[in-house]
Amino acid sequence: MFNDFIDFVREIYGIKKFIPLHEPKFIGNEKKYLKQCINTTFVSSVGEFVKKFENKIAKYTGAKYAIATTNGTSAIHISLILAGVNQDDEVITQPLNFIASSNAIRYCKAKPIFIDVDIDTMGLSPSALDSFLKKNTTIKNKKCINNKTNKIIKACIPMHSYGHPCRIDEIKQILTKYYIFLIEDAAESLGSFYKNRHTGTFGKLGIISFNGNKIITSGGGGCIITNSKVLATKAKHLTTTAKVPHKWDFIHDMVGYNYRMPNLNAALLVAQLENLDFFIKNKRNLAKKYEIFFKNTECHFFKELKASKSNYWLNSIILQNKKKRDLFLKKTNSKGVMTRPTWRLMNELKLFKDYQSGALKNAKYLQDRVVNIPSSVRL
């Protein structure tokens, strides 16, 4: 099966020595817009392409406002501040996750709580979330108090893993009942929809990443999306070093952050957005090819929920056990076909192992079995 898979991938991508997991494609107006940007001399965080990008990404996602940031991690950090997360507060997230969310929680000197995922979404499980909150919390003065620590659970960051929407509407209903602020991690899911609504727009705040390996990229980059004018205004202020507008003077009214996206990066993204629909169509077509290939094998190809339309950012398969996963990784990578396991569970990392978690049966199951396979747009 290994050799058949390697041959299949080489047939899809063409015979070349190395096939990456996900590489960016620059096939449109990237050079043109970069040149325009350079000619204006506005290459830093002030410039027309930043405004254009924010308007275009807001329109695409259906959000009222978008605030461009240096990367997805800074977008999460600012979102936590906007949610009022302070030292010793607690924030729920999922253990099967890129480290950015957990790191950002610690930037605020808050503490993560790790709750299990659903196997069919790899995103936060509504049933596991509801069960944990029922068993471990009390509502006092519209605040969710953790009975074990006596701390406030301020926010929750579910993730749309690998571009696949989680059951975000159910999660939102539960969090509303417990007065917990929803920050939606849509870092990987630009172009993904759940029940005809774009990911990142269910919570009060959503974040998207434009890192070099994402479906569209500016090299780095991220953004916050929201329907709240108050939150959008404060997000822009915080990400611009909290500088009070003035023709010449330098006045800062609070601790701010130098998190605004440079105009050069935004120029790249404006061009990339013009081809986003093509990229998604291309990747969904690739997913169909993989689904057919793996249909009669021992590998389970991971598919979107019926209520979802996924961008299939990274295609994934689930093998029978860890031994077979490791063998698949070894064989493919030795032949120049890049494959990767899913992330190490956050609660198993030394820096997060002492924080509270629920039962994590599904997350552990997936950690031992999931492999990401080549998912670049094909030209």
Mean of the pLDDT values across residues 54-76? 98
pLDDT tens digits, residue range 302-358? 999 999 999 999 999 999 999 999 999 999 999 999 999 999 999 999 999 999 999
CA distances from 181 to 100, 155, 191, 352 (A): 18, 4, 24, 22
Whether residue 279 is predicted with pLDDT greater than 90 in this model: the reply is: yes
Average pLDDT value for residue range 80-108? 98
Write down the pLDDT at residue 245. 87
Q: Give the chain's largest Cα–Cα span.
A: 68
H/E stretch holding 323: helix 322-334
For residues 129, 133, 135, 140, the Cα torsion angle rounded to the nearest 10 degrees is 180
In the predicted model, what is the mean pLDDT of the chain?
96
- Give residue 3's pLDDT: 87
DSSP state for residue 2 in the 8-state scheme: H
Residue 206 near residue 184 (C-beta atoms within 8 A): yes
2 — pLDDT class (breaks 50, 70, 90): confident
State the DSSP H helix or E strand holding residue 139, giving kind and residue range, or none if neither: strand 137-140
How large a percentage of the chain has pLDDT more than 90? 94
What pLDDT, on a 0 to 100 scale, did the predictor assign at position 257?
A: 96
Pairing relationship of beta strands 340-341 and 137-140 according to DSSP bridges? unpaired
Strand pairing partners for 184? 206
**Domain 30-274 belongs to what topology?**
Aspartate Aminotransferase; domain 2 (3.40.640)
Q: Tell me the domain boundaries of the chain.
A: 2-24+276-344+368-373, 30-274
| Domain 2-24+276-344+368-373: CATH class, spelled out | alpha beta
pLDDT score of 46: 84
Cα–Cα distance, 203 to 173 (Å, whole number) = 10
What tens digit of pLDDT does each residue of 11-55 get? 999 877 899 999 999 999 999 999 999 999 999 888 899 999 999
- Span 210-265, pLDDT tens digits: 999 999 999 999 999 999 999 999 999 999 999 998 888 999 999 999 999 999 99
The CA distance from 373 to 302, in Å, is: 11
Q: What is the DSSP string of 20-42?
A: -S------SSHHHHHHHHHHHT-
Write down the pLDDT at residue 316: 98
Q: How far apart are CA 185 and CA 357, in angstroms?
A: 19
pLDDT at 45: 81
Contacts of 165 (CB under 8 A, 6+ apart): 121, 123, 189, 192, 193, 194, 199, 304, 305, 307, 308, 310
70-93: average pLDDT: 98
For residue 234, give Cα distances in angstroms to 167, 241, 302, 357: 29, 11, 39, 32
- Decide: pTM greater than 0.85: yes
Residue 178: pLDDT over 90: yes
pLDDT band at 1 (very low <50, low <70, confident <90, very high): confident
Looking at the chain, the whole-number percentage of residues with pLDDT higher than 70 is 100
Q: Are strands 181-185 and 153-157 parallel, antiparallel or unpaired?
A: parallel
The token duo for 40 is 């204006």
Alpha-carbon distances of 20 from 187, 192, 275, 312, 336, rounded to whole Å: 20, 23, 21, 16, 8
pLDDT reported for residue 8: 94
